[in-house]
Structure 1
Amino acid sequence: MHTPDPDGADRASRDASLTLGLTLPTDTVLYLLLPLHAAAFGVSFAEAGLLLAANRLVRIIGYGWVARSYERSGPRHACVVAVLGAAASSLGYALLPGIWWLLAARLVWGLSFAVMNIATQALATALPEGAARRSGRSRAIIACGPMVGLIGGALIAEAWGPHVVFLLLAGVALLGLPFALRLPAGQGDPVRGAPRFGLPARIDVWSFVQGMALDGVFVLGLAVLASAALGGAVGGVAVQGAALAAGGALALRYASEIALGPAGGMLAERYGALRMLVLLSCASAAGLALIGLGGGALWVGALAVVLLRGLLQPLPAPVVAAMHPGPGRVPALARLATWRDLGAGAGPLVAGVLLPLVPAALVYGVTAAALLAAALALRVSPRPPTAPR
């Protein structure tokens, strides 16, 4: 794939971001509605945690294959197929209740997201100049879809039930096709000659913990704790307004990416992406600890986490791109995403099993301590991962 000019890099990054932004609500809204309406989907609360983890777990296995497929087919063809897969998975949530059908839909979404995730990060970092700026703008664009989807999905679910929501989201996902068709044709960035998966560097360990904490335990736990705080049930019929409260909090997470993602990219350009990543991760750990305390601290901690996550989200890709210039960039981004998905896949399983049994303060306290330790470890300049022999 030829090296783009700055305008071409900006345009390709924007189109890839719009493609992902229109399909991502099919996943983020499920994180809101499945724990609160598990019975309506024909699953238990524990099975809901498994389903929310499944799409990430398949990516752990499949990211290497997806990255090589991306190289062969290029961004345009790969993302067109991924959009169709996203729409199909949303139809599955709406029409096919029960653990096995829903699991199949989650696996289809997992591979579809993997393609679009690699495309957005690879195209944003295709030129070293302005990579952090493009990453920040990309995160802001992508976040628009989930933000609107969470609020709209909560309102529609309150009135007509959760299945109608996913019928509508399947149509929204198909709106990403025109943007996918505008992506560069031909082969994608080269990924051959690099290990699919190696021993984790410190940045990979951080990615695992960040995924577990901010994309796993936080997201699933927030829906559960919000429902409990409002006096509702979990896994059955939630109280009126619990979905709106949790949906509003989760939507604010994406609103913060829209408002603060570009600022995070500019701060990274000025002060260094790695330095900002460490500082914001430490602050996020403090917010997680507050959530576990419940009561008013729950909402203060949730607000802190969602705002800090908006600043944090654009930073990992530029950090890894700087560590792995040249042909190693896309494999390193795929490896980072693999470790993040491993953590984010474990997060819902941990929360789904422990939150009904263990005090929330302990679950969130241990999670916060792990994120703090992983962030502080990055103060020492991380080394590239070791390839398996």
Structure 2
Amino acid sequence: MDAQAADRASRDASIALGLTLPTDTVLYLLLPLHAATFGVSFAEAGLLLAANRLVRIFGYGWIARLYEQRGPRAACTLAVLGTALSSVGYALLPGLVWLLVARLVWGLSFAALNIATQALATAEAAGAARRSGRSRAIIAAGPMVGLIAGAVIAEVWGPHLVFLLLGGIALLALPFALRLPGGHGEAVRGAPRFGLPARIDVWSFVQGLALDGVFVLGLSVLAAQALGGAGQGAALAAGLALALRYASEIALGPAGGALAERFGAARMLVLLSAASALALALIGFGGLGLWVGALTVVLLRGLLQPLPAPVVAAMNPGAERVPALARLATWRDLGAGAGPLAAGLLLPILPPALVYGLTGLALLGAALALPGFRLMPGTPAPRAP
């Protein structure tokens, strides 16, 4: 695949994921606030929010083989249809069992779309960081708009209508999925998904736990508490706070890719992770620290998001690249699945300063352990042991 074909395929895959991802991100906003409306308890809502990531831990290998055997077109087309069905399930099938089935379908659907976006963005080494940055910006547009609109629609007409609409929007991704390359995908068989993790896998786990788990759940809860607790104000506050995270990816994702091209993706990954760790710790102090720390984290996250895929691609050239990307996503899902559970258990019983301080310390340690910090700009990172 030449650079022009990689650009086109990466763009189409990113649009498909951007149109389907709101079915998940909006659920993170509305399910905890409307748990009774969906026929579940608050504790069951936490389980449902983690379920899609947990199924990907075990399903990524199967989805990666599907991607290899059928190619990105077939894998992403099935994923788009699965996304639409899961969103309709959220709207029409209340109760833990049916919602759990819908979450599992979405988890596998996202796995296919996620593998495609990362594999196609790095299919050609030249410009991989640039494509990755553009990809993150395209993908983030869907959740950003969906979170704000979903909060407003849910308060006026209820949360079920939101997911019926999102199911229809997901189907708009079909033409883009059908334009992806057909035939066989890249070989994905290689090193096992588990076993002793590489340092980049450890970082991915901690990053998922901290920035996709503890930060997201805690930010929603703390923002809602600070602006009036339950009700419309809480939903809009939480929606705006989460939407800002995706707005930063749109605005700063391309800049993060450009910085990686200029200074080296591995070096920028370490520096931005360390800065994010310090901002996380600041959130725990509340007051002005909450808002300054939250704003800093979302801005840094926008710069950080494009970097893992090109770093892993440099560490794992050739046929090992796609399996390594799948492992990276698996470890991130492990962390992001554990993060909301940990935050839900710890925030009610421990001071936020301690929870966020320990989370930031873990991210800082994982970042400083990564290889590549001392590399000169443009020097490829060595393979992580």
Which band: TM-score by shorter chain? over 0.9
Cα distance, 1:355 vs. partner? 1.8
Does the CA contact (< 8 Å) of 1:59 and 1:111 recur in 2?
yes
Letter in 1 for 2:169: V
- Work out the CA distance in 2 between the residues paired with 1:367 and 1:46: 22
Task: Answer whether contact 2:256 2:302 (CA < 8 A) is retained.
Answer: yes
Q: Write the deviation string for residues 310-354 of structure 1: whole angstroms up to 9, x where unpaired.
A: 000000000000000100000000000000000000011111222
2:252 to 254, 260, 264: 260
The structure 2 residue matched to 1:153, chosen from 150, 154, 168, is 150
- How many pairs does the alignment contain? 378
Asked if residue 225 in structure 1 is aligned to residue 217 in structure 2, the reply is no
C-alpha distance in 2 between matches for 1:286 and 1:123: 33
Alignment check: 8 A CA contact 2:84 2:167 kept: yes
Shift of 1:174: 0.5
Q: Are residue 239 (structure 1) and residue 231 (structure 2) matched?
A: yes
List runs of 5+ in structure 2 lacking aligned partners: 374-380
Q: Distance in 1 between matches of 2:342 and 2:38?
A: 21
1:135 equivalent among 118, 132, 135: 132
Equivalent in 19, 30, 33 of residue 30 of structure 2: 33
| Contact 2:315 2:384 (8 Å CA) reproduced | no
Alpha-carbon separation, structure 1, partners of 2:94 and 2:84: 16
Q: Find the counterpart in structure 1 of residue 49 from structure 2.
A: 52
- CA deviations on 1:221-279 (whole Å, 9 max, x unpaired) are 111111221231xxxxx232111111111111111111100000010001000100011
Aligned equivalent of 1:104: 101
Is 1:210 the counterpart of 2:207? The answer is yes
Equivalent of residue 79 in structure 1, options 76, 90, 93: 76
Quick one: which amino acid aligns to residue 300 of structure 1?
V
State yes or no: 1:162 paired with 2:159: yes
Any idea what SS the aligned residue of 2:232 has?
Answer: coil
Provide the C-alpha distance between the structure 1 equivalents of 2:354 and 2:86, rounded to a whole number of angstroms: 35
CA distance in 1, matches of 2:189, 2:363: 32
Counterpart CA distance in 2 for 1:122 and 1:215 is: 21
The farther-off stretch of 104-113 and 90-99 is 90-99
> 1:266-305 CA distances to partner (integer Å, 9 max, x unpaired)?
1000100010001101111111112222222212111111
Read off the aligned partner of 2:133 and give its amino acid letter: G
1:35-72 deviation per Cα after TM superposition (whole angstroms, max 9, x unaligned)? 22222222222221111111011111111111111000
Structure 2 distance, partners of 1:166, 1:291, is 32
Matched, 1:279 2:271: yes
SS of the residue corresponding to residue 231 of structure 1 reads: coil
Q: What amino acid maps onto 1:306 in structure 2?
A: V
| Preserved CA contact (<8 Å) 1:264 1:314 | yes
Q: Within 1, Cα distance between the matches of 2:46 and 2:355?
A: 15
Preserved CA contact (<8 Å) 2:253 2:305: yes
Give 1:125 shift: 0.3
**Structure 1 segments of 4+ aligned residues over 3 angstroms from their partners:** 379-386
Cα displacement (A) at 1:380: 6.0
Of 15, 21, 24 in structure 2, the residue corresponding to residue 24 of structure 1 is 21
Q: Which moved more, 1:264-273 or 1:39-48?
A: 39-48
Show the counterpart of 2:357: 365
Amino acid at match of 1:356: P
Q: Aligned with 1:218: secondary structure?
A: helix
Q: Aligned ranges for residues 248-327 of structure 1 at < 5 Å? A: 248-327=240-319
Amino acid at match of 1:178: P
Give the partner amino acid of 2:238. A
In the TM superposition, what is the alpha-carbon distance from 1:25 to its structure 2 partner?
Answer: 0.2
Is the contact made by 2:267 and 2:372 (CA closer than 8 Å) also made in structure 1?
no
The Cα of 1:118 is off from its aligned counterpart by 0.2
Deviations 1:124-178 (A, max 9, x none): 0000000000000000000000000011011111111111111110011000000
What is the rounded CA distance, in whole Å, between the counterparts of 1:68 and 1:385 in structure 2?
24
* Kept in 2: contact 1:36–1:224 (CA 8 A): no
TM-score, L = length of structure 1: 0.95
Contact 1:252 / 1:306 at 8 angstroms: preserved in 2? yes
Greater Cα shift, 320-329 or 290-299: 290-299
TM-score, length-scaled by structure 2:
0.95
Letter of the 1:242 counterpart:
A
User: In the alignment, what sits opposite 1:340?
Assistant: 332
RMSD: 1.4
Equivalent residue of 1:356, what SS? coil
2:366 corresponds to which residue? 374
1:6 & 1:250 partners in 2: Cα distance? 34
> Is the contact made by 2:193 and 2:330 (CA closer than 8 Å) also made in structure 1?
no
Amino acid of the residue matched to residue 281 of structure 1? S
CA distance in 2, matches of 1:260, 1:147: 14
Do the aligned residues in 2 keep the contact of 1:78 with 1:115 (CA within 8 Å)? yes
- Tell me the secondary structure at the aligned position of residue 241 of structure 1: helix
Shift of 1:78: 0.5
Residue equivalent to 1:235:
none
Alpha-carbon distance in structure 2 between the residues aligned to 1:116 and 1:143 = 14
Contact (CA 8 Å) 2:253, 2:306: kept in 1 or not? yes
Give, in whole Å, the separation in 2 of the partners of 1:282 and 1:102.
Answer: 37
Q: Unpaired runs of 5+ in structure 1?
A: 233-237
